[in-house]
A and B are shown apart, each in its own frame.
Chain A
Amino acid sequence: MRSRREAIIGATAFGASAAGLAGAARAQARREPIRVGVPTSQTGAYAVLGEEVIRGVQFAVDEANAAGGIDGRQVEFRIGDEQSNPDAARRAAERLALGGHGLLIGAISSASGLAIAGQLDRWNALYVSTVNKADRLTGEACGRRLFRANHSDAMDLMVVGPWLRGRPERKWGICAADYVWGRDSAAGFTRAAQETGKEVALSVFPPLGTRDYAPYISQLKAAGLQGVWVVLSGGDAINFAKQARQFGLAAELTIVGHAYIVPTTLRAAGEDVVGSYGVINYDASLDTPQNRRFVEAWRRRFNQDPGEYEAETYTGMRLIFEGVRKAGSTDADKVAQAMNGLEFESPFGMVRMRAEDHQLVMPNLMGRVVRDGGRVHRAIEMTVPAAEATPPPSAACRMG
């Protein structure tokens, strides 16, 4: 696996320099390459997400190198296994950063991202989150070398308010995984519901890894609700979706989810979530010129649509490249400095890295799962522009 990957990188680099003029190639060779470190999950609970991150990185690197590099700099990357565990994430990132790959990207769990964040000054590194959603990353824990190129939980909840306002359902329930993400999201939804004059009549919190949702579903059915906010992910979301349809919950009321109608749920339980609504961070049908180009090239290479983690990781890589270009250097400190307020093109359109808290200001979507002939897919119903989808910087963030 590793040797083949290096062979691919090598081959691309060779192709690019052979295509260029000999003189230009020599000039390129003298420029310091961009060395990206990818501490992501190759083993453990999040290994599948790690694969998506690696695909996003690989695609961005190959695209940059095929175009002659970034400002004549070739791009190299190295993967370290964070084993879906913050303690291992720290060691993987440390090895990458001290080994010269100090432009870090792509840890999976928020805890891994936060564990890495605390060490960046010591390693003279920077870290771009492309999967971590915890608000703390751009709140209390924010820092000058720490950036987020994906949507935070707070951003996901920002789109729910406007969406709820236009909905007829008044009486809502919540079914959320019993841990920090589920609880925070439930609290956020409750706030949004109150602000829009709705009522949350019942909240249930099944533990992570629940297989039998029948007791929770019967409670939700008995409460006379008109809609349910679902905060479950991975296998939990799939199990819930299947049982919600089986027990007739999906037919009775409106189901809307946080990270619920994502490609993994659609692949495993597509028929079961037809008609369900949800926050969509990214979809291949997003209508920007950059995204059309991105999706076309992605389909040519992988023969499928890019998912949100792939698109967001690609966006994070674009942030690093543009940061290096603006800084005229690959030094993490200078690149981090250059990223402040940086505007660049991404599949989400033109986006800006906000200097105050290092959150990428980007649009967010709401949509619904529909059946078109034989194909089950997501249809975007509402696009919330970047300015509205991104809450103001948290007062808890003080850039050191």
Chain B
Amino acid sequence: MSGAGRIAAGALAAAAAGPAIAALVPPGVLLSLLAQACIYAILALSVGVLARQNGMVSFGHAAMFGAGAYLAGIGLGAPGLLPAEAALPLAVLAVAAVCFGLGLIVVRVHGIAFAMLTLALGQACFEAANKARGVTGGADGLTVALPREIFGLPAATFQRAEGMFLIAWLAMVALAALAALLARSRFGLLTEAIRENEERARFLGYGTVLPRAAVFALSGGIAAAGGVLYVLYNGFVSPETVHWSVSGSALIMALLGGTRTVWGPLAGAAVYFLLREQLVEVTERWLGLLGILLVLVMVFLPDGLSGLPRRLRRRHGAEA
């Protein structure tokens, strides 16, 4: 089977697993947590795409996530202006477009400087969400009333755990498949070549800024899609969602799962999110415990949790 065929088959199998999980897990706290985990997994995926294709570590992806949520929320709040079916995709496209423009500048900066730049831009968005009270509701947040129907589905579907879990799961699988297909394409290979040796790619005659900016835009668009689902599910968004600590969590999820594979950040998000929710119940020191876990994973599994199968296979191969 070709690479693209394998990805399509994997995506179909993963998509089919969604309804199975929804049928097995009784609707309640757990299913709601799973729905939220999927939404954050999409954010982690976006951070992973940037790390994988561009080799760039972002400390500002909560800004794209939050911008998607706020734009969708504002769009839904003005139903006379735009139908919801237009407002939601527009929110994603707008964030991707802005990221492309920004990307043309920021991808020229490398390493720690890039991380600091994304941190600064992200915090600027956080301040803006706090200060633009007329539009965002400021520190009190934005309450969003959904229209009766969106894409032919009753609004309640988006706000019930059963409905949102399926929607977020399918969106997560589709976006991950898209990222995997892209990584295999000519464009994906080019960005990886640039990631490994930008000087050389340029020497071979490739422009290196445009492809990297395109990856930045794609990554921003994926994060924004997560934000749109977030605001649909919660009916509420506040500046805390844009805060750098959310960017930090997304980065931890991506690193925990490993960014060498597309699915690594998804696994990292599931582990981080569900573990955190369990730890919060048991102890106020949950942040410390999660930190220790991350250190252990980084030391013993530098490729993250998704590197585990490969390591096992290699050890197995060595023994045989």
A118 at the B interface (CB under 8 A): yes
Residues of A within 8 A of B118 (CB): none
Say whether B236 contacts A118, CB under 8 Å: yes
Query: Which residues of A from 165 to 193 have beta carbons under 8 Å from B?
Result: 178-181, 183
Residues of A within 8 A of B159 (CB): 122
Query: Which residues of A from 71 to 105 have beta carbons under 8 Å from B?
Result: 81, 83, 85-88, 90-92, 94-95, 98-99
Stretch at the interface among B133-141, B218-226, B263-271: B133-141
Which residue of chain A has the shortest Cβ distance to B280 in the bound complex?
Answer: A81
Contact of A179 among B32, B138, B143 (CB under 8 A): B138
Quick one: CB contact mask for B1-41 with A, threshold 8 Å, 1 for yes?
00000000000000000000000000011001100100000
Quick one: CB contact mask for B177-195 with A, threshold 8 Å, 1 for yes?
0000000000000000000
A115 at the B interface (CB under 8 A): yes
B241 at the A interface (CB under 8 A): yes
Query: Which residues of A from 117 to 142 have beta carbons under 8 Å from B?
Result: 117-119, 122, 134, 136, 140-141
A114 at the B interface (CB under 8 A): yes
Distance in Å: Cβ of A343 to nearest Cβ of chain B: 30
A383 at the B interface (CB under 8 A): no
Which residue of chain A has the shortest Cβ distance to B27 in the bound complex?
Answer: A98
Given A86-B238, A87-B241, A179-B130, are A42 and B284 neighbors across the interface (CB < 8 Å)? yes
Number of interface residues of B (CB under 8 A): 26
| Interface band, chain A | 20 to 34
Which residue of chain B has the shortest Cβ distance to A113 in the bound complex?
Answer: B140
Residues of B within 8 A of A178 (CB): 131
Which residue of chain B has the shortest Cβ distance to A180 in the bound complex?
Answer: B138
Distance in Å: Cβ of B217 to nearest Cβ of chain A: 26
Given A42-B284, A91-B277, A122-B159, are A179 and B139 neighbors across the interface (CB < 8 Å)? yes
Given A179-B139, A180-B140, are A86 and B240 neighbors across the interface (CB < 8 Å)? yes
B235 at the A interface (CB under 8 A): yes
B260 at the A interface (CB under 8 A): no
A394 at the B interface (CB under 8 A): no
A196 at the B interface (CB under 8 A): no
Say whether A134 contacts B234, CB under 8 Å: no
Distance in Å: Cβ of A294 to nearest Cβ of chain B: 30
Residues of A within 8 A of B277 (CB): 91
Query: Which residues of B from 227 to 282 have beta carbons under 8 Å from A?
Result: 234-236, 238, 240-241, 277, 280-281
Report how far A395 CA is from B32 CA in the complex, Å: 34
Report how far A136 CA is from B144 CA in the complex, Å: 13
A249 at the B interface (CB under 8 A): no
Distance in Å: Cβ of A199 to nearest Cβ of chain B: 25
A382 at the B interface (CB under 8 A): no
Report how far A98 CA is from B33 CA in the complex, Å: 12
Distance in Å: Cβ of A212 to nearest Cβ of chain B: 19
A43 at the B interface (CB under 8 A): yes
Residues of B within 8 A of A115 (CB): 141, 234, 236, 238
Report how far A88 CA is from B40 CA in the complex, Å: 13
A111 at the B interface (CB under 8 A): yes
A226 at the B interface (CB under 8 A): no
Residues of A within 8 A of B131 (CB): 178-179
Given A94-B32, A98-B28, are A181 and B139 neighbors across the interface (CB < 8 Å)? yes
Contact of B36 among A91, A92, A110, A117 (CB under 8 A): A91
Report how far A141 CA is from B145 CA in the complex, Å: 10
Say whether A114 contacts B234, CB under 8 Å: no
Report how far A228 CA is from B308 CA in the complex, Å: 63
Residues of B within 8 A of A81 (CB): 280, 284
Which residue of chain B has the shortest Cβ distance to A179 in the bound complex?
Answer: B139
Report how far A36 CA is from B29 CA in the complex, Å: 17
Say whether B236 contacts A114, CB under 8 Å: yes
Residues of B within 8 A of A111 (CB): 139-141, 238, 240
Which residue of chain B has the shortest Cβ distance to A86 in the bound complex?
Answer: B238
Given A111-B238, A114-B236, are A122 and B284 neighbors across the interface (CB < 8 Å)? no
Residues of B within 8 A of A122 (CB): 159-160
Which residue of chain A has the shortest Cβ distance to B138 in the bound complex?
Answer: A180
Distance in Å: Cβ of B14 to nearest Cβ of chain A: 25
Query: Which residues of B from 83 to 138 have beta carbons under 8 Å from A?
Result: 130-131, 133, 137-138
Residues of A within 8 A of B139 (CB): 109-111, 179-181
Report how far A83 CA is from B235 CA in the complex, Å: 20
Report how far A30 CA is from B247 CA in the complex, Å: 50
Residues of A within 8 A of B284 (CB): 1, 42-43, 81
Report how far A162 CA is from B33 CA in the complex, Å: 50
Say whether B280 contacts A110, CB under 8 Å: no
Residue from A88, A99, A179, A180 with most neighbouring chain B CB atoms (10 Å):
A180
Residues of B within 8 A of A85 (CB): 240
Contact of B234 among A83, A98, A118 (CB under 8 A): A118
Say whether A118 contacts B241, CB under 8 Å: no
Say whether B29 contacts A118, CB under 8 Å: no
Say whether B32 contacts A114, CB under 8 Å: no
Report how far A181 CA is from B240 CA in the complex, Å: 16
Distance in Å: Cβ of B178 to nearest Cβ of chain A: 26
Distance in Å: Cβ of A103 to nearest Cβ of chain B: 17
Given A91-B36, A136-B140, A179-B138, are A86 and B236 neighbors across the interface (CB < 8 Å)? yes
Residues of A within 8 A of B160 (CB): 122
Residues of B within 8 A of A180 (CB): 130, 133, 137-140
Known interface pairs A91-B32, A180-B140; 20 further A-B residue pairs with C-beta atoms within 8 A, sorted by A's residue number: A1-B284, A81-B284, A83-B280, A87-B240, A88-B280, A90-B234, A98-B32, A110-B139, A111-B139, A114-B143, A114-B236, A114-B238, A115-B141, A115-B236, A117-B143, A118-B235, A140-B143, A179-B138, A179-B139, A180-B133
Residue contacts A-B, CB under 8 angstroms, 8 given: A85-B240, A87-B238, A92-B280, A98-B28, A119-B234, A141-B143, A178-B131, A181-B139
Q: 5 closest A-B pairs (Cβ-Cβ)?
A: A180-B138, A118-B235, A111-B141, A111-B238, A115-B236
